[in-house]
Amino acid sequence: MTDAVPAMLIPREHLFGNPTRSGGEISPDGKWLSWLAPKDGVMNVWTAPASDPSDARAMTSAQDRPIPQYFWAPDSQSLLYIQDKGGDENYLLYGVDIASGEERTLTPFENTRVDVIGTSESIRDRILIGLNNRDARFHDPYLLDLNTGELELVLQNDGFAGFLADDNLALRLAIRPNASGGMDFHQITGGAIAEEASESTGLDDSLTTHPIGFTTDGRTMYWIESRGRNTAALIAQTVETSERTIIAQNDRADIGGAMANPRTGEIEAYSFTYLKTEWTAIDPAIKTSLDWLRERLEGEFNVQSRTEDDTKWIIANDPLTSPSKTFIYDRTANRLTDFYTTRPELVGAPLQPMHTLEITSRDGLVLPSYLTLPPGSDSAGSGKPDAPVPMVLLVHGGPWARASYGFNATHQWLANRGYAVLGVNFRGSTGFGKQFISAADLEWGKAMHDDLIDAVEWAVENGVTSAEKVAIMGGSYGGYATLAGLTFTPETFACGVDIVGPSNLETLIASVPPYWEPVIAQFHERVGNPNTPEGLALLKERSPLYKADEITRPLLIGQGANDPRVKRAESDQIVNAMKEAGIPVTYVLFPDEGHGFAKPANNIAFNAVAENFLANCLGGRAEPIGDTVNASTARLVEGAQHVAGLTETQAD
């Protein structure tokens, strides 16, 4: 029986507002703890002595956009972080001196995106970075002195997509895309790049074969490798002889993670993720530590940071139905110390378990999937509701990415509002072998979409939901899938929520960021080639824009004006086409966002609109919009009248 008393409505702020803390790390020398936390409402980097965690101070002063990523300098003397402007993804590198607190821009250039190529165990005061300030398409490797800020050009890059360096910060391998959509690997000796590739991949192996690093002595290079097999294995290659040894492989999933010794660089443990992540230790001491942690921690955990002497680890723990926690693990004393709880306001909230599933597509592919049910709907705890409930099909982005097991704020939010939430790893998703990826080549809007329809049919047949009560929602590729769902299969979904999704595949490919141009051949081979008549026809056929007049169900669109991947024009085009056809649509634009909504106020505002939109379509619960939209930068470009709580006076 379904509970008579509905579960507490979890405030959006508790799920999507700033966490209390996140991103905990320990400095390589073990003397400092660091984390991200709000300062004046914006996520900044904080530190405290490891000997006195209560003596905390903010080290950065971001005032607008949250800092998305930071890391320790190898010498533990400074913290490094990246930041862009308004979501344009032109990330610059910044450094903060621990002793003085001085903050400075280490890459002071305009319209430039920094890549970190390599760090070193033996050279602690320098790192290798790539800068595309000379030619936006290619990143030139530079040696950056972290103390002086001096940049030394290592070589000019006129066509390579990436580089691999050793512990001496010497470039050893250059990676160039080839015409087939794969990669050529060129050895670098004495700063000179070999003309002939020593190894190559074709399209099939392009997303599942790549080098991941050297041991500190430079004698062994590690690969994630799918050549000659389906799922990617972990390979050790002896540099002198080129002899390869398989360290680990799994028939169902690619090797996805590795733990390397901080000093030697030797891999000590690896992971693969089919439905859940499984870690296997190679080194006996690492195995002892991982086993000790497994006995004491509920749910999933991972090693987030390690000291150079490997005596202290930062452990992130996801208990799944309670807020995630982070611990300091003293391996010598076998002691776990609380570091922080990420969202303490979720303690006691009605968080729901995520169920793992395998759904079979119409042509026999097994689709690893995840289902979260509304509180009180599954009295037996079987993973199936007592009676069908409305459902949101939540489609992941990429598409060369994946849905994963663990705490998911969007799953919890939608389940709390009364919906089953189904996340599907459709063909093209990564982590399940190259054949699973290649099954999606030139199948945008076709077999990839069929997988999603098959998942909906599974949910209906198994009593999870009813056919007339299913919404589709997603960001990026998930936004495209939403538009495809409402145009190619207009009667399947009750409504759709598209977040930064492309509507026109031709203009999407024509407007990719310049630094994606080296891998454009892969887009042509996997999505469609606009340079051939057949390819252009395919792209038009698979573009929801050209079927916008067939939309019959409500649509909500969210877009960042500065999105460098899926330009604003992708949303503008389909909104204009719908307006011309007299079809209602609600369109929310954020002028200070890019590919997604980084600012909590903006994310909360869009989710406030989305849940009230879904409530109107599916009948679930909704927290009132209140002042969330006015507290954000949202511009209601079109259709405010279609969502309860919005008014035309707010429209642009």
**Which residue numbers are catalytic?**
476, 563, 595
Give the C-alpha separation, 592 to 402, whole Å: 27
Residue (of 483, 498, 473, 499) closest to 598 by Cα position: 499
Question: Which residues lie below 8 Å from residue 364, measured CB to CB, with a gap of 6+?
Answer: none
Q: What share of the chain is helix, strand, coil (3-state, %, to 5)?
A: 20, 30, 45
Is-cis flag, bond preceding 399, omega within 30? Answer: yes
Question: Which residues lie below 8 Å from residue 253, measured CB to CB, with a gap of 6+?
Answer: 231, 272, 273, 274, 431, 432, 433
Give the C-alpha separation, 531 to 546, whole Å: 19
In the chain, the largest separation of any two C-alpha atoms, in whole Å, equals 73
Give the C-alpha separation, 414 to 182, whole Å: 39
Burial 529-560 (b: 16+ CB within 10 A, else e): bbeeeebeebbeebbbbbbbeebebbbbbbbb
Question: Which residues lie below 8 Å from residue 298, measured CB to CB, with a gap of 6+?
Answer: 317, 319, 320
- Integer CA distances (angstroms), 254 to 203, 275, 564, in order: 17, 12, 30
Give the C-alpha separation, 127 to 123, whole Å: 8
**Structural tokens at position 140:** 């030139």
Question: Which residues lie below 8 Å from residue 58, measured CB to CB, with a gap of 6+?
Answer: 37, 39, 44, 45, 46
Give the C-alpha separation, 481 to 487, whole Å: 10
Backbone dihedral angles phi then psi of residue 256, each to the nearest 5 degrees: -115, -20
Residue (of 416, 581, 559) closest to 500 by Cα position: 559
